[in-house]
Structure 1
Amino acid sequence: MDDAGKLGRQFEFENAFWAKPVKCNFVNLYQVGELGCECDFKIDDHLQICHEVTYIISGDGYVTTDSKELKATAGDIFLTRKGQMHAIRADKQSEMRYYYLAFDFNEDTEKPPFNAAKELFSADNGIKMHDSMEIDKPFSKLISEMYYLYDYSDEMVNTYIEQILLLICRLFSNRVQSSDYIPSKSAKPVGYTVYAVVRYISENIFNIDSIGKMARELGYCDSYLSRVFKEKMGMTLQSYVTMKKMEKAVEMIEQGNFTITEIALKLSFESLQSFSKSFRRTVGVSPMEYRKEYFSKKKSE
């Protein structure tokens, strides 16, 4: 990369295999990495010679595919197909950080379930989705494996790429397929309703904005759901949701990838003030104080 190409890049961890792509299970890997860029940084419009997944970690910007520009915020996932024109730029008022994964499919893609990934990238629709499945986690682990080169890194890299692409298939297709691992349910398993709530909260922590909406999606009225939950769990449903959101907030603060405002938005709080109030009430200190204390302690260790 020449000096002009480096302008506006705060940091980048890039692994490129353009001359000789690496076979990773059902795909051939061309490039994977993480980029942090300054405000108004641009990657100019270019032709994609392979497929690419872009995951926005933090900040704001825009992703353009075949002249169609879409807003990009933390948690957004963009698919760019081979043969499309592609460009990325950070907002003029915001730095941006993102993961990228460039690949093409090989002969193993014809086997289920990998053929679903090929079908997804062969379709014309579905350029952008917001992550509701924590796809950032296998992305982060993939980058760590390639950075630290632990024992068995090759095998783990294959595993994380497979996870990322199959989770993206699930996210974009928005359907649950039949599975050999689903047992038959007993007629009235003990605590089934409460377990359904607990699983829902765990899997949708970034999208819960009201008890009423959650109850409707689970097929219950909110008053019944709240009463049954409190009887079994000894705490209100709203308190449990808040507790789980604060646990996730602490985890995200400790990761160091997000601003406090971004965490509040990702966890569906109406405002930074309401998030900070809930955090202080649950954790005992403000989000800013917790972050300062955590990284100060970590630095001294």
Structure 2
Amino acid sequence: MNQPLVYRSDNYFRAGELFSIIRFHEPSKEHRKYHSHDFVEICYVASGNGYHILDGEVHRVTRGNLFIINYDVSHAFYREDNASLIIYNILFKPGFVDESLIDFNDFNSLSLSYLFNGLLEKPFHPNLALSFDEIQEFESLIEKIYAEYNERRSGYISIVRAYVIELIIHMMRCFDRYPDNREMSRRLDVIYAAMDYLRENYTSSFSLGSLASKSFFSKNYFCRLFKETAGMTVTEYVQKLRIEEACKMMENPNKYITEISMETGFADYKSFYTAFTKRVGMTPSEYRKRMEETT
């Protein structure tokens, strides 16, 4: 791996500020940029799938993964082939959160601030895998930060600072909730592996019991963990994959809709019609007609 680049705060922070937030579409593996920086970075995976190189290890990432990248730590994100990966990068120096820390660069220095009152005295993990409910909570907060920072209305820096403090406290609560986050990550890795399997085999029939048995979890626990992670049931996830592929196949005007329904794994046209209409909001014929009108 090439020598890491060093990203300097002067290139990212506005004049007189110690903060920035960037919504970034990560590149392919060939174009990834292994780098460190002279500020703290909180990285949140907003959508897509990809990989994160951190401390020499490659981690698979998806929506709901959150990383604390400390000062002078080298890392890089890159997307999966033929996929997208969107990351919110929250960049700041400790002095942004508390002016008494103006001379510090390290995330751990925040433990010196009265704002966190002992919250940061315990060891923390550099990454979190959020549950479905936590994803909703974090995304709402991050989107508020992003909007305030970019709209630049009066007093926006004070509001952004308050939101960042709230974000850090929520992160610490997550560490408390999962005292051994490595075990939670292991469980989520099992779900991500199941999602990968389903993406590769969505046209085939499957048994929830056999899928759960591969993970060494009970069927009920596997289903609950899958829904918490993906935000939908296994059946809903498979239908989503099938409908997305069906929409792509409809770009070919020479393919019959009945043919598409069978090739995407539906047992019959009726079940395809019902699932498609429910998910897309129009019938397959209406969808194809709309596509033809826009091309």
Q: Give the match's secondary structure for 2:33.
A: strand
Q: 2:231 aligns with which of 250, 267, 271?
A: 267
C-alpha separation in 2, matches of 1:160 and 1:288? 35
Aligned residues: 188
Change (3 A) 1:131 1:155: same
Which piece of structure 1 moves more, 264-273 or 93-102?
264-273
CA RMSD of aligned residues (A): 4.1
Aligned to 2:126: 127
- Contact 1:40–1:93 (CA<8 Å) still a contact in 2? no
In the TM superposition, residue 56 of structure 1 has moved relative to its aligned partner by 0.4
Unaligned runs of 5+ in 2: 6-10, 102-109, 180-217, 222-226, 244-272, 291-295
Q: Residues 175-194 of structure 1 correspond to what in structure 2 (within 5 A)?
A: none
In structure 2, what is the Cα distance between the partners aligned to 1:20 and 1:266? 41
2:73 is matched with: 84
Deviation, 1:102, is 1.7
Q: Which amino acid in the other structure matches residue 35 of structure 1?
A: F
The 3 A distance-change label for structure 1 pair 131 and 67 is same
The yes-or-no answer on 1:17 pairing with 2:21 is no
Hey, what does 1:163 align to over in structure 2? 166
Deviation string 1:158-180 (CA, Å, 9 cap, x unpaired) is 2211121111111123279xxxx
> CA 1:49 to 1:115, structure 2 compared with 1: closer, same or farther past 3 Å?
farther
Q: Distance in 1 between matches of 2:39 and 2:59?
A: 20
Residue type matched to 1:142 in 2? I
- Look up the equivalent residue of 1:163 and give its one-letter code: E
Aligned positions of 1:139-154 closer than 5 A: 139-154=142-157
Unaligned runs of 5+ in 1: 6-14, 23-28, 177-209, 214-244, 246-263, 297-301
- Tell me if structure 2 keeps the 8 A contact 1:41–1:90: no
Match of 1:219 in 2: none
Which structure features the higher share of helix residues? 2
* 1:114 partner SS: coil
What SS does the corresponding residue of 2:162 show, helix, strand or coil? helix
SS at match of 2:44: strand
**How do 1:1-301 and structure 2 match up within 5 A?**
16-17=12-13, 20-22=16-18, 29=19, 31-40=20-29, 42-106=31-95, 107=100, 109=110, 110-114=112-116, 116=118, 118-119=120-121, 123=123, 126-132=125-131, 133=134, 134-174=137-177, 266-271=230-235, 272-273=237-238, 286-289=278-281
Q: Describe the superposition over 1:89-135 as per-residue Cα deviations: whole angstroms up to 9, x where unpaired.
A: 11123111110112232326434452556546xx4x61221123221
Spell out, residue by residue over 1:247-281, the C-alpha distance to the aligned partner (whole angstroms, 9 max, x if none): xxxxxxxxxxxxxxxxx9621411324679xxx99
1:43-91, Cα deviation, whole Å (9 max, x unpaired): 4222232221110011111111221221110111111112221111111
TM-score, normalisation: structure 2:
0.51
SS in structure 2 of the partner of residue 140 of structure 1: helix
Q: What secondary structure sits across from 1:99 in the alignment?
A: strand
Amino acid at match of 2:164: I
Say if 2:21 and 2:149, in contact at 8 Å, map to a contact too.
no
Q: 1:76 to 1:37 in 2, by over 3 A?
A: same
Asked if the contact 2:120–2:172 (Cα under 8 Å) also holds between the matched residues in 1, the reply is no
Q: List per-residue Cα deviations over 1:7-47 (Å, max 9, x = no partner).
A: xxxxxxxx92177543xxxxxx2x32111245447442222
Letter in 1 for 2:130: D
Please identify which structure carries the higher strand content. 1
SS of residue matched to 2:174: helix
SS in 1 for 2:281: helix
Q: Aligned pair in 2 of structure 1 residues 117, 90: CA closer, same or farther (>3 Å)?
A: farther
Report percent identity of matched pairs. 17
